[in-house]
Structure 1
Amino acid sequence: MSSWERGIISNYDLKKPRVKIGYVIMCLFIVLLGVTMLYPFLNTLFSSLKTKQEMFTFPVPFFPKEWIWHNYVEAWDTMNLLPYMRNTIIIFVGNMVFSIFFMGLAAYSLSHLKVPYRKWFILFFLSTLLIPTNSYLIPNFLNLQSLGLLNSYWAFWLPAGANAFNLLLLKTFFDGIHKELFEAARVDGASEIRCYLQLAIPLSLPIIATLVILGFSATWNEWYWPSLVITSKEKYPLATVIYRYVIAGGVGGTQIPWNVRFALLASAMLPPVVFFLFMQKYIMRGLNVSGIKG
C-alpha cells in the first residue's frame, strides 16, 4: 500500500464522483482561507513600498508601481522601534519565567503529588477560563495599584504567574509522564523541586515550546493592558506604541504619511512572522503530545 493510500481519503475513494467533488470543495476552502489570511499581510507589505500618490489613487493598486524602499528609512527616522521591541522582549521573558516556574510547579503538584481536594482545585481553575477576560481588568488594575506596581513590568509578570490556561495545559502534559520516573528519583533522595527541574522540565520541552510561541504572540500583540498600567512612554511595548502613535495619531503632533505608517506596521509584523516560521513545527507537536496519557 502506498503512502498516498494511508491518508484519510484513499486513491480508490478519490475515483468516486461524490468524494472527488467533496475533496475539491475542501481544497477550495483551504485556498480561500489561506488567501484571506495572507491578504492583510501582503497588503501592508506592498503599501509600505508605495509612493504617497499611490496611496490616494482610486482604485488603490495592490502592487506598487515603484518599490520605494526609502519609506523604511523615513519610518525609522520618524520613530525608532528598537527600544519598544526591547521592552516587549523584557515583558515576554518575564512572563515565560513566571508561567513556566510558578504555573509549572502548580501543574506538577496537581499531576504528581497527593494534593487534598485536587479535583476541586482543577475544577476551580477550569471554571476561570469561562470568565471573560475584560471582566477582571479593573480588579487586576486596582490590585496592582494598591501594591504600587503600576508603571512597572511587574504589572505583566504577576498576572502571567496565574494563568489558568497554561496551568491546565502543563498539567495535561505532566499527566502523560510516567510516575515511576519520579518515584525512582525520590528513592534516590531527590526533592520535589529537583524532580521538577531535572525530570519534568527536560521531558516537557515540546509543551514549553508551545507555551513560548503562544506567549510571544500574546505579548507582541497586546496593547490595551499596557496602556492601562504603563504611564511613561519609555516603558511602552511595541503594540501600544504602534496603536497610539501610528494608527490612532502621530508623532510629536505631526501626522505620519500613510506609506510611512505602513512601513512601520510592516516592521512590527516581520519579527513575529520570522519567529513563527522558525518555531511552527513545535506548535502542533506540543499540542498533540500534551494529549497523550501515560
Structure 2
Amino acid sequence: MKAHERSILSDYDLKKPSTRFLYYLMNLFVVIMMCCMAYPIVISMLNGLKLNTEVNSFPPTFFPTEWHFENYIKAWNYIDLPKYFKNTMFIFFGNMAVTISILGFAAYSLSKLKVPFKSAIYYYFLATLFIPATTYMIPNFINLKDLGLMGSFAAIWLPAGANAFFLLLLKTFMDGIHTEIFESARIDGASELRGFFQIAFPLSIPIFATLAIFVFSTAWNDWFWPSFILNQDNKPLSSAIRDFVLNARRLDLNIKFAILTLVMIPPIFIFLLFQKYILRGLYLGGVKG
C-alpha cells in the first residue's frame, strides 16, 4: 500500500465546513497577494509596448491597442545599459570579494579561534545592528573622503567589510561545523589560513551562496549611496535609471516603462534561479547567541 505524506491539513480536516472555508479563504488571500505583486511588473511591460498617447490616456487601458515592440529597441539605445550593468557587476564582485576575505576571516576567528573577549566582541557587533544606517552615513563619507577614495569603486567595497549582519550570519553557520575537523588539521600541521580555505570555506559554500544573493540584491537596488560617492562613469544601473530615466522630463512614458522592464528582468531571473538559496538565507538569518 502506497504511503501518503501527511500535510498540515489532512483530507479528514478538509471535510469540516469551517476548516474548508478557512482553507479556501487563505488560498484566496495568497492569490490576491500574487496579483498585487505581479501587477506592477505586468503593467510596466505592457505600457512599454504602447504608444505614448495611449499610456497617458484616460481611462487607462490594460492591453495595448497596438503592439510596438520597437519601444524596447529605443529603450535599449536610450542609455548605455551595458556600461552601467558592468559597473553594477564590478560593485557586486568587489563586495563579494570583501565579504569572503574580511568577513569570512573575522567569522572564522570568532568561531574557531581562541580570541580574547570573544563574547564581548560578538555582542558588540550584535549591538551595532540596532544603530540606524543614517547615523553613520556622514562619518563614512568623511572617512572615505580623507582616504581619497571618493569617486572610485573602492568607496563601495570598503564599507562592505563592516557588515555586522553578514559577519554574525557567517559565524553562526561556522559554529555548526565540528571543531574536531580543525583540531585534526592542526595536529597534521595545517595553518589557520589553510584551515579556512581548505575546510571552513568549502563547508560554508551554502551560506556564502546565500550572501551572494543578498550582495547582488544590494548592488542592483541601492542607488542613494552610490549616487552620493561615485562619479558619473562609475555609477551603477540603479543610479543611472534614477538620473536619466525617472528624473527625465522629456522622455516619453512608454520608453520609461520599457527601460524599467529591461532593468527588472535580471533580478527576477536571479530570484527564480536561486530561490531555494534565498529561502535558506531567511532561515539562516535567525542569528543565535
Equivalent position of 1:61 in the other structure: 61
Deviations 1:32-53 (A, max 9, x none): 2111111111111111111112
Query: Alpha-carbon deviations, 1:229-261, whole Å to 9, x = none?
Result: 01x3111100001011100125xxxx1111111
Map of 2:24 onto structure 1: 24
Native 8 Å contact 1:111 1:171 kept in 2: yes
Structure 2 CA distance for aligned equivalents of residues 260 and 290 of structure 1? 39
Q: Which moved more, 1:127-136 or 1:88-97?
A: 127-136
In 2: Cα distance, 1:16 partner to 1:281 partner: 34
Measure, in 2, the Cα distance between the counterparts of 1:7 and 1:122.
Answer: 39
Q: What's the CA shift for 1:2?
A: 4.3
Deviation of residue 75 (structure 1)?
Answer: 1.4
Change (3 A) 1:132 1:84: same
Q: Which position in structure 1 is the counterpart of 2:148?
A: 148
For residue 285 of structure 1, report the CA deviation from its aligned partner.
3.2
- Offset at 1:73? 1.1
Give the root-mean-square deviation of aligned CA atoms: 1.8
Distance 1:212 1:161 in 2: 14
Structure-to-structure mapping, 1:41-60, within 5 angstroms: 41-60=41-60
The 1:16–1:179 alpha-carbon spacing in structure 2 relative to 1, beyond 3 Å, is same
Correspondence list, 1:98-177, <5 A = 98-177=98-177
Change (3 A) 1:283 1:227: same
How far apart, CA to CA, are the structure 1 residues paired with 2:280 and 2:101?
22
- The DSSP-based 3-state class of the residue aligned with 1:31 is helix
* Contact 1:173–1:292 (CA under 8 A) maintained in structure 2: no
The residue type paired with residue 24 of structure 1 is: Y
Q: Which of 241-250 and 137-146 deviates more?
A: 241-250
Secondary structure of 2:274 counterpart? helix
Moved more, 28-37 or 146-155: 28-37
Any stretches of 5+ residues in structure 1 without a counterpart? none
Give matches, 1:130-279, under 5 Å: 130-230=130-230, 232-249=231-248, 255-279=250-274
Q: Identify the range of structure 1 (257-266 vs 18-27) with the bigger mean alpha-carbon deviation.
A: 18-27
Amino acid at match of 1:132: P
Bigger shift: residues 137-146 or 272-281: 272-281
| Alpha-carbon distance in structure 1 between the residues aligned to 2:193 and 2:18 | 58
* Cα displacement (A) at 1:287: 4.5
Aligned pair in 2 of structure 1 residues 199, 264: CA closer, same or farther (>3 Å)? same
How far the C-alpha of 1:290 sits from its partner, in A, is: 7.2
Q: Deviations over 1:187-207 (max 9, x none)?
A: 111111111111111111111
User: Across the two proteins, how many residue pairs are aligned to each other?
Assistant: 287
- The CA deviation at 1:288 is 3.9
Paired amino acid for 1:241: A
Q: Quick one: distance in 1 between partners of 2:211 and 2:287?
A: 17
Give the structure-1-normalised TM-score: 0.93
Alignment of 1:68-79 (within 5 A): 68-79=68-79
Q: Take 1:247 and 1:279, find their aligned partners in 2: how far apart are those partners?
A: 29
Separation in structure 2 between the aligned mates of residue 27 and residue 119 of structure 1, nearest angstrom: 45
Structure 1 counterpart of 2:232, which letter?
K
| Gap regions ≥5 residues in structure 2 | none
Relative distance call for 1:224 and 1:195 in structure 2 (3 A) is same
State the AA in 1 paired with 2:166: N
Deviations 1:194-230 (CA, angstroms, capped at 9, x unpaired): 1111111111111111101111111100100011101
Instruction: Please state how far the C-alpha of 1:264 moved relative to its aligned partner.
Output: 0.9
